Amino acid sequence: MARSTELLRRKGMHWPSLPLAFFIAPAAVTAAPPEVYVGFESRYSDNVELRANQEQSDLENTVFLRGNYQSDPGRCIAIIDGEIAYSIFAENTFDPETRINGGAFGRCELAQGLTWEVDNQVREVTRSSRQADTPDNRTRKNVFTTGPSYLWRLSPRDSVQFSTRYQNTEFSDPEDRDSDRYTGSVAWNHLFSRDLSAGLSSSISDVELDNGAEIQTTTVNTTFSKRWATTTLSGSVGVSEIETELNNIQQSSDGFVGDLALTRALDSSASVFLRASRELTDQTSNYDIQFDEFTFELTDSITVEVTSVETGLNKSFSNGDLLSVTGFASRTDSLDTAEQEDRSGIRTGYTRRVAPSLSAVANARYEYLSFESDQSDDEIVGLDLGLTYQAARNTELAAKVGRTERTSDIPNQEYEENWILLSIDYRFR
């Protein structure tokens, strides 16, 4: 989406990977002054319902409030980042809607080695990637997580961490399944050197869905983390088993799981990253919050095997230009049905300063989707161009034009859309 007010699939806060995190103090977080933005935008679309035929044009007017805050380092830290927006459609194509995207994270050190964390993430998520991304195909997902962790230092090089978590997931659409999740984990870590650590971990989680289904997942893996002067590498590899029971019918699956995270600074102005993950999980987990481009098919299976890869480049030039390129791919295998969905694509963004207060912005996106159940393939291509103008110290104006096109083996899933957007942002200091 090209809308500035939608923080689509914004990631939650990601903390250091497990092994090295044992030896990093909470005070590593640096304070940042709070920022609050208020704004208004109008977006005209010649096909606001994203239909294959009988297109309907409409003007969407949106007011939004956006902000972020990070506390000073100390025994307790807090991070808040989010946006709330309210939209009205001039021709009443859709009902007025409120969108919320963002999260809040807090952690306190209660005693030596004992911490308590609270995390709440809210996203507007797509219910089905087969359908167009309109208000009728979105639901609000709220994931609340809390619980203690205790770090027991056996020696200067060895430690064991015990953690328990309670997680509640709720969707705004009553058709989607809410859940309560209870997770316990224990992990041993050995510090081989200042920059290298490895260990073992195990976890078990019990999920209770509001339809009576019960899901239990057990995972055992090895963990590792390595740092160089300009590169950080961490990850895990292991096995997992997931068991589901509904109406006295039991189902079990197991498989290889793991994750990998790599960041590398090419120089002072460019960096690359790679993130990959494979899990046995369910729709109510926060997996789709961790990976921007991943979407649960909420209308299908409850339990799934998911694999995601995301890699990219961020570059700033000496003249102030900015370039970002991200490639992504994911596969979702339903453990309850024969459905398999593949998704891959690339998105790019370029910002060029053409005058002290004026910048030109260009964004492009290509996405390929494949659905095994009906042997259908879809392609989505999007392009937008725009200008941003710093009218005053706290005020920014923007104008954008864009086009999105979806082609599909299923004709009624195709659409073309041309849109124009005008917006104004004001930042409080």
Domain residue ranges in the chain: 103-428
Mean pLDDT of 248-265: 93
- Backbone dihedral angles phi then psi of residue 349, each to the nearest 5 degrees: -145, 140
Contacts of 413 (CB under 8 A, 6+ apart): 52, 130, 131, 132, 376, 378, 406
Query: Which pTM was predicted?
Result: 0.87
1.10.260, 1.10.10, 2.40.170, 3.90.1200: CATH of 103-428: 2.40.170
| Least confident range of 117-126, 333-342, 386-395 | 333-342
Q: 320-369, pLDDT tens digit by residue?
A: 899 999 999 999 998 877 788 999 999 999 999 999 999 999 999 999 99
Task: Name the β-bridge partners of 188.
Answer: 160, 200
> How many angstroms separate the CA atoms of 183 and 105, rounded?
18
Considering only CA atoms, which of 198, 183, 173, 202 is closest in space to residue 286?
183
CB distance 293 to 281 below 8 Å:
no
pLDDT score, position 212: 87
Does pLDDT of 1 surpass 50? no
Instruction: Label residue 111 by pLDDT band (50, 70, 90).
Output: very high
Does pLDDT of 146 surpass 70? yes
Q: 37-65, pLDDT tens digit by residue?
A: 999 999 999 999 999 999 999 999 999 99
> How many angstroms separate the CA atoms of 282 and 333, rounded?
11
Considering only CA atoms, which of 376, 297, 300, 284 is closest in space to residue 337?
300
| Least confident range of 18-32, 201-215, 393-407, 410-424 | 18-32
Which H or E element spans position 345?
Answer: strand 340-355
CB distance 63 to 69 below 8 Å:
no
> How many angstroms separate the CA atoms of 211 and 205, rounded?
18
Q: Are strands 231-246 and 214-227 parallel, antiparallel or unpaired?
A: antiparallel
Instruction: Label residue 299 by pLDDT band (50, 70, 90).
Output: low
Residue 254 structure tokens: 């197991």
Does pLDDT of 306 surpass 50? yes
Does pLDDT of 227 surpass 90? yes
pLDDT score, position 27: 39
Does pLDDT of 215 surpass 60? yes
Mean pLDDT of 219-243: 97
pLDDT score, position 32: 65
Q: Are strands 196-209 and 214-227 parallel, antiparallel or unpaired?
A: antiparallel
Q: Are strands 340-355 and 322-334 parallel, antiparallel or unpaired?
A: antiparallel
| Average pLDDT score, the chain | 89
Mean pLDDT of 180-207: 97
CB distance 375 to 333 below 8 Å:
no
Does pLDDT of 100 surpass 80? yes
> How many angstroms separate the CA atoms of 150 and 172, rounded?
34
| Least confident range of 63-72, 245-254, 323-332, 375-384 | 245-254
- Backbone dihedral angles phi then psi of residue 135, each to the nearest 5 degrees: -55, -30
CB distance 139 to 172 below 8 Å:
yes
Cα-based distances in Å from 384 to 270, 283, 343, 361, 364: 24, 32, 22, 8, 7
pLDDT score, position 286: 83
Which H or E element spans position 21?
Answer: helix 18-21
Q: What is the largest CA-CA distance in the chain?
A: 70
Considering only CA atoms, which of 128, 107, 124 is closest in space to residue 116?
107
Instruction: Label residue 14 by pLDDT band (50, 70, 90).
Output: very low
> How many angstroms separate the CA atoms of 12 and 48, rounded?
29
If one compares 360 and 14, the residue with the highest pLDDT of the two is 360
Mean pLDDT of 25-47: 78
Q: Are strands 231-246 and 303-316 parallel, antiparallel or unpaired?
A: unpaired
Does pLDDT of 28 surpass 50? no
- Backbone dihedral angles phi then psi of residue 21, each to the nearest 5 degrees: -65, -25
pLDDT score, position 254: 93
pLDDT score, position 30: 56
pLDDT score, position 381: 98
Residue 206 structure tokens: 């019990």
Does pLDDT of 295 surpass 90? no
Contacts of 302 (CB under 8 A, 6+ apart): 177, 209, 213, 215, 244, 282, 283, 336
**Backbone conformation region of residue 375, classed left if phi is above 0, alpha if psi is from -120 to 50, else beta:** left
Instruction: Label residue 24 by pLDDT band (50, 70, 90).
Output: very low
Number of C-beta neighbours around residue 27 at 10 A? 12
